[in-house]
Structure 1
Amino acid sequence: MHFQLEEATIQDIQNAFESGELTAKALVLLYLNRIANYDKEGLTINSVLEINPDALFIAEALDNERQNQGSRGPMHGIPVLLKDNINTGDALHTSAGSLALANSYAIQDAYIVEKLREAGAIILGKANMTEFANFMTDGMPSGYSSRGGQVLNPYNISTPTGGSSSGSAVAVACSFCTVAVGTETSGSILNPGNLSSTVGIKPTVGLISRSGILPLSYSQDTAGPMARTVTDAVLLLNALLGDDVNDSAMGANKGKRRMDYTTYLDKHGLNGARIGIPRDYYFEELTEEQLAIFNKAVESMRQQGAVIVESANIKTCREIIYSSVVFNEFKSALNMYLSRLGPHAPIHSLKEIIDFNHNHPIETLKYGQSTLIETEFTTTGKLTEPNYIRDKTRDLQTCQTDGIDATMKEFELDALLFPADFGATVTSRAGYPSIVVPAGYTAAGVPFGVTFSAMAYSEPTLIKLAYSLEQHTQIRKAPSLKSFL
């Protein structure tokens, strides 16, 4: 067999399917063996939390369907890993990395999982994640969960993985799956995407459904694609689209959502684009090495005809301080989610999670549960706290109206460009989209990316820019896993 699994794109796989060189069943077996060899042995990268016992049967059925009826489309037979907070109504658990929810099964698929199955994707399993999307305690490292253990960064094991979609990002980087789905509240797609040299699309909140995903925040949560190429990320994004009447956030996308985002994969997308760089504030923590990588990416954009607007500063950036919005929304959102699991679910509330952890401290409380306790006992869960209401109002004003909106209008920009995921706080509170793409590596081999961001439902523009940069730089390289064996 000439097919090469490592770094294989969706198109590579579809070509192998069409030529008869590969079947979906054989592909699943290749991924499973790679997971066994590199994720569970050797260095124990630990990005894959659970394998779907039905994956091979699903693959065989899809092979049979392809032979007798033809392909459903680009995702037919493509193995996908899901972050462990995304419901699947099958033999897989949905635990958000928590041992308290280790025996918790969802009653039905999340809406986006339904769409993936309709597109012919194979749910390969669940990816490890930072427990409760890094809302468990202070001082817990990114990529750690009591149920899954610590995810390691395959490029440099002394470097963090980023949170909380760490398993999704690392599994993609290591070719343990073709593509994966992560979720973001504030940087949880962009941050691990940056640190694993992968492409992460954090969509506008409301572009794709949030139903059936264990939540952190009503205001900011969204799922999104993680892939090794912009094209694959966009193909996965297409498969996640749909009209979910049970998600009220989706009502705002009417007339703004596109049916096929691959039409925006324009190699010349940077030509003539006005890209603003908020040099004030967002660059203060960069090392000289990281700044050099960023500036090299900017120079590549200039060479492709982009108009770079320096010092397109977000005037409200220093006003974007601590917000109690997520802190107050978590208890209400989590309890609502748990209540929908039904009376036979092992855990029914945040309080029961805290009690479970308290009764199993050695297994569950390596880093404590201070955030869970504080949320449970200092918020009402009714969202009536004055500070919550004021913070929510302030977030929208400083991040949307007076922040990104005002900056883009003042400088007539198509997009803003941030180093790594450093703009995640302002974009997430605004509910606005971003795409992180690889930009280079430090001398220690640590990946560094750049993030394009813009106003609501500007995914077409961001895809053009990200794809054009990727095609002209071709900077991404696979991690060298063999040295770990």
Structure 2
Amino acid sequence: MGKRSIAAMTAALVTGSLLTGLSGTSANADTPADARSARSDRLSGVDLDTVTIPQLQARMARGSLTSSALTRAYLRRIEKVDPKIHAVLRTSPTALREAAASDKRHRSGRTLGPLDGIPVLLKDNVNTRDMPTTAGSLALAGKPPGTDAALVTRLREAGAVILGKTNLSEWANFRAAKPTSGWSAVGGQTNNPYVLDRNPCGSSSGSAAALAASLAQVAIGTETDGSIVCPAGMNGVVGHKPSLGVVSRSGVVPISAEQDTAGPMARNVTDTALTLSVLSEDKDGSRDAARDGLGGGLHGDLRDGLRGKRIGLWRLPSLGPDVDALMTRTAEKLRKAGAVVVEVTPPYQARLAELEFPALLSEFHRDIDAYLATREGPRNLAELIEFNRAHPQEQSCFAGQELFEQALAAPPTTDPEYRAMRAELKDLSQRSLDETLSTHRLDAIAAPTNPPAWTTDCARGDNDVIPSSTPAAVAGYPSLSVPAGSVGELPVGLLLMSGNHRDAKLLELGASVEDRLNAWRAPHYLPTVDTAGTGR
């Protein structure tokens, strides 16, 4: 996918599609206005829970809002709300200076694109020159890397305000056999904003929880398999895992170059798409096209966006009867909007599950050694294992580092057996999606992103066998989670998958699905819920 297709998609989203119905632009019909106001900080009539980037840019263009005021509002909200959820590790000391520079550009009419002046949080495995980048580990908690990740350079060049860094599952959940998502030795435990004793899912847990709590306009997550889309689903926000290679992984703490990607997360598809237009690697002037698309304002609607679209529903009943019932209701809503929904089961899933983990072990050893060589602290995986053994704080939630130890003993990526394994993985994962899409003439495959959030328990670890993310993650194809509804108080996402480098088309479809489902709602920060009462 080139940036011309991204630009066309973003222009369509912001100038031709999104006046009414988008979950991020209109209040939830079930929520009184005074209750919404009590939950959110308001700024010159702006509701941080529901406002979109195009709406913010329109206000900044008129002079009725400044980036400085918006950034201060988010910083105040972090100070007020984050103690409940522990999603933000640190705020940037330069955020207000960056906002002031954006205000100057807005006054002179020389803005840099759709993210100019927009506050963005970064997952703390993305290198920043002026803040620590820890991957949640004390081993990296010292001196900052000194250089920005390539994606951070793009954000800065686009005028985005780097607001701070979010907590994550330590080492992106690739350390222990039974980890607890959202926990790191640096940041402690991130809580799910909907029910605080429930898990936020990993590993972009802090990014998703921060967005659910309206602590930034957008956030950056990373995924190897499920770590953008599962937190998005479980925290009731939108997360896009791009096609492999669309967003640079340079300067991002790795698991596997064969599957890793960073991607945008937001409270609505429009903001997600606009962020991708900035992050995308291709260079052909599309940032200007996306910026120009803002000039037309919001008009039109999405009433016909699903008409004639063919969607394959992969039910995954293993996620429980409440989720399956939600998928039945979701399919009916899509059909009423004119979509054709057929039930599918992508093939080869058992073999993918058998092969993926051993391949990742070899790739992690190779890639983490290369990354650690660029940082102060442990210089390779063997030294990192010794560091964890010597530091009790690294064992305060769970002591295990079984994946590290297995990766250290795994065959090198030059081994013929490993190469055959990765080749089979690529072939079967791509065929799994390509054959399903082709056989049923589908625009996308849909599946539940997640079950209702489980209780967080360091002794037990996660309860997270969630197969829906694997085909697209292993294939390097795009996936997008949008809110589908809830089981009791706990959000469930709908995961949409499509063919290689069809990110733009997937986001367009996702905007129409989001509009039809209209499932977003703000969290209530409940301390707990009765597990018998989570279904509805």
Q: Does 1:128 align with 2:162?
A: no
Aligned identity (percent) is 39
Q: 1:80 aligns with which of 120, 128, 139?
A: 120
State the match for 2:28 in structure 1. none
Q: Does 1:159 align with 2:213?
A: no
Q: Is the 8 A contact 2:317 2:324 kept in 1?
A: no
Q: Normalization by structure 1: what TM-score?
A: 0.89
Which segment is superposed worse, 160-169 or 366-375?
A: 366-375
Say how many residue pairs are matched.
Answer: 460
State the match for 1:436 in structure 2. 481
Indicate the SS of the match to 2:90: strand
Alpha-carbon offset, residue 54 of structure 1: 0.8
CA distance in 2, matches of 1:105, 1:243: 28
Amino acid aligned to 1:427: A
Q: Is the 8 A contact 1:276 1:416 kept in 2?
A: yes
Indicate the SS of the match to 2:319: coil
Q: Does 1:299 align with 2:299?
A: no
CA distance in 2, matches of 1:414, 1:69: 40
Q: 1:28 aligns with which of 54, 66, 71?
A: 71
CA RMSD of aligned residues (A): 2.5
Q: 2:402 aligns with which of 356, 359, 371?
A: 371
Q: How do 1:326-405 and structure 2 match up within 5 A? A: 326-341=360-375, 345-379=376-410, 382-401=412-431, 403-405=432-434
Indicate the SS of the match to 1:320: helix
1:434-485 CA-to-partner distances (Å, cap 9, x unmatched) read 1110010112x0001111101101112211221111112321011124989x
Q: Is the 8 A contact 1:3 1:21 kept in 2?
A: no
State the match for 1:459 in structure 2. 503
CA distance in 2, matches of 1:66, 1:459: 30
Amino acid aligned to 1:209: S
Q: Is the 8 A contact 2:89 2:167 kept in 1?
A: yes
Q: How do 1:60-459 and structure 2 match up within 5 A? A: 60-90=100-130, 92-243=131-282, 268-279=304-315, 283-310=316-343, 312-323=344-355, 324-341=358-375, 345-379=376-410, 382-401=412-431, 403-421=432-450, 422-443=467-488, 445-459=489-503
1:61-114 CA-to-partner distances (Å, cap 9, x unmatched) read 211222134322221100000011111122x11111111111141231111111
CA distance in 2, matches of 1:416, 1:192: 20
Amino acid aligned to 1:273: K
CA distance in 2, matches of 1:219, 1:259: 31
1:269-320 CA-to-partner distances (Å, cap 9, x unmatched) read 31111111234xxx2313222112111111111111111122x222322322
CA distance in 2, matches of 1:129, 1:362: 16
Q: Is the 8 A contact 1:47 1:166 kept in 2?
A: yes
Q: Is the 8 A contact 1:99 1:364 kept in 2?
A: no
Alpha-carbon offset, residue 21 of structure 1: 3.0
Indicate the SS of the match to 2:45: coil
Runs of 4+ in structure 1 deviating by more than 3 angstroms, as ranges, are 257-263, 362-366, 481-484
Q: Is the 8 A contact 1:3 1:16 kept in 2?
A: no
CA distance in 2, matches of 1:373, 1:70: 49
Q: Is the 8 A contact 1:180 1:227 kept in 2?
A: yes
Residues 461, 258 of structure 1: alpha-carbon distance in 2 compared, 3 angstrom cutoff: farther
CA distance in 2, matches of 1:4, 1:408: 39
CA distance in 1, matches of 2:68, 2:212: 22
Which stretches in structure 1 are left out of the alignment for 5+ residues?
245-253
Which segment is superposed worse, 458-467 or 142-151?
A: 458-467
Q: Which has the higher contact order (CA 8 A, sep 6+)?
A: 2
Residues 48, 267 of structure 1: alpha-carbon distance in 2 compared, 3 angstrom cutoff: farther
Residues 321, 72 of structure 1: alpha-carbon distance in 2 compared, 3 angstrom cutoff: closer
Which segment is superposed worse, 460-469 or 347-356?
A: 347-356
CA distance in 2, matches of 1:192, 1:309: 27
Which stretches in structure 2 are left out of the alignment for 5+ residues?
1-43, 295-300, 451-466, 529-536
CA distance in 2, matches of 1:241, 1:259: 13
CA distance in 2, matches of 1:183, 1:391: 24
